[in-house]
Copies of this chain bind each other. A is one copy, B any other.
């Protein structure tokens, strides 16, 4: 009741695109840098960022979707001008030239800043992705939409990307 409260921000990362993930992670790192508590709910295509490896699936459709979706932040596409992967490759080169931060760098920074990651339970179940296929991170949990709503209700900023 009389506890000091920390401002919170809750993001939904629905997209698995390099550029959109960059935007979400820049916001997350900025807010965490201000001392805010940040929660990111990774759902649908956004699950890609949390993937560490791809365990073989027995079911054809699962296998298909799991093969199409990137594993980790290294292999994301662009939401525009993707050109079969040339776009993100060029953008990464440009970012390096400018000493900027790529999605990978921002993702690591978010982990350093202890941003809370929530992997959408329903998305994992749908795609047949097991928890052991995700990155190992102390502040990663698997939970449902209710967990997100709970944190969004306590947040000053809630956005979907």
Residues of A within 8 A of B (CB): 7, 9, 12, 14, 16, 19-20, 22-23, 26-27, 30-31, 33-34, 36, 43-45, 59, 61-62, 64-65, 68, 79-81, 90-91, 93-95, 97-98, 100, 122, 125-126, 144-146, 148-149, 152-153, 156-161
> Are A153 and B157 closer than 8 Å at their CB atoms?
yes
Contact of A97 among B7, B59, B159, B161 (CB under 8 A): B59
In the complex, A153→B30 CA distance in Å?
Answer: 13
Nearest residue (CB) in B for A10 is: B157
Please determine whether A20 and B14 come into contact, CB atoms closer than 8 angstroms: yes
Q: Are A27 and B145 in contact (CB under 8 A)?
A: yes
